[in-house]
Amino acid sequence: MRNLVREMREAKGWSQGELARRLGVSRQTINAVETDKYDPSLPLALRMAVLFEVPVPSLFIDDWTPEETL
Amino acid sequence: MTTLDQAKIRKMLLAFVLGALGGGGAMAAFLWLGFEPGWRVEQVAVGGVGVVYLVTGLFTLGGALMPGMGARVLNVADREELVEMRNMLVGSSVSAIALGIMLLALVGSGPGGAVPDIVVIAAVGLSLLTIGVIGVKQWRLYDELWRQLSWESSAFAMSILLPILLIWSVAVHLGWLSAMDPLLVIAVAAASMLVGAFIAAGRRGMLAPR
């Protein structure tokens, strides 16, 4: 799963530390999410979406498409 | 190559040199001591793993307590990151040091050993108590990534330890090998925890230079 956390954070002018502080997580968590090494929990993803004022699917992008059913 | 890349390489080299000097020196001193009384392989193994825990714990504790210096060696973005993580790092370091001391106390113990049983029992009891209490406190300090890392490192450690113990036990049962020495079991368990933690951290990108 790709994500646009780094782009949106930089657009806000926040450092990783600043975003971590706002979300109440460690800087390592932000770094791991931004480098696609960790997919955040649903509550954390929702909080990120609230902070960046975007829907979750605009922040976390999954290329999965459902199989066509008969 | 950017200035940032050069800085990361310099930091990695410095960490490598310090690790080699500190860890290598401590290991050499331990082995030099060990050869004199003619320790068995399992004593050297448990002591060797103990030295790794002790040195890692001391390095991390030093870095956490002196963040300015620690940021130059430890894999963090900057000094502030160490300050933010201080409580967590101090807890992990003290646990590693306690485990290292426990393992080293075991080296010279047992029948005919220089370390009295009561000292070993006290070292093991105090170490386990320290690690247990700190573990509970650490869990409260962890955020979701660190909790995930904790689960994953335990799972990796078990995935390493279990096959070794099972295969060895089967071989002993079949009469192909002699039973594993208790100190070797402890050494393998402690080493598995260490390797498990490294694998978990590596998978989450936490060993990449920062």
Confidence band for B17, pLDDT divided at 50, 70 and 90: confident
Q: Residue A31: its chain B contacts at CB < 8 A?
A: 77, 205, 210
Confidence band for B37, pLDDT divided at 50, 70 and 90: low
Residue A15 in contact with partner chain B when CB distance is under 8 A: no
Does the structure show a pLDDT above 80 at B149? Answer: yes
Contact in structure between A3 and A60 (CB atoms under 8 Å): yes
Average pLDDT, chain B: 90
Q: Residue A26: its chain B contacts at CB < 8 A?
A: 84-85, 143, 145-146
Of A17, A28, A38, the CB nearest to B80: A17
Q: What is the model's pLDDT at position B36?
A: 59
Determine whether the interchain pair A37/B81 forms a contact, defined as Cβ–Cβ distance below 8 Å.
no
Has the ipTM of the complex gone over 0.95? no
Residue A47 in contact with partner chain B when CB distance is under 8 A: no
| Partner residues linked to A60 by β-bridges | A3
Contact in structure between A13 and A6 (CB atoms under 8 Å): no
Confidence band for B156, pLDDT divided at 50, 70 and 90: very high
Tell me the per-residue pLDDT of B20-36, one tens digit each, with 9 for 90 and over.
788 788 888 877 776 65
- Amino acid (one-letter) located at B189: A
pTM: 0.88
Confidence band for B98, pLDDT divided at 50, 70 and 90: very high
Q: What is the model's pLDDT at position B29?
A: 80
Tell me the per-residue pLDDT of A11-56, one tens digit each, with 9 for 90 and over.
999 999 999 999 999 999 999 999 999 999 999 999 999 999 999 9
Nearest CA in chain A to B84: A26
Q: What is the model's pLDDT at position B203?
A: 92
Task: Using alpha carbons, select from B11, B175, B73, B148 the residue that is nearest to residue A32.
Answer: B148
Q: Residue B204: its chain A contacts at CB < 8 A?
A: 32, 37-38
Q: How close B35 comes to chain A (CA, Å)?
A: 42
Cα separation, B138 vs B151, whole angstroms: 13
Tell me the per-residue pLDDT of B165-201, one tens digit each, with 9 for 90 and over.
999 999 999 999 999 999 999 999 999 999 999 999 9
Q: Please give the share of chain B, as a percent, with pLDDT higher than 70.
A: 97
Tell me the per-residue pLDDT of A18-30, one tens digit each, with 9 for 90 and over.
999 999 999 999 9
Distances in Å between the Cα of B204 and the Cα atoms of A34, B141, B148, B153 are 11, 19, 10, 11
Does the structure show a pLDDT above 80 at B38? Answer: no
Tokens of B175: 């009469």
Radius of gyration of chain B (CA): 19
Determine whether the interchain pair A25/B80 forms a contact, defined as Cβ–Cβ distance below 8 Å.
no
Residue A41 in contact with partner chain B when CB distance is under 8 A: yes
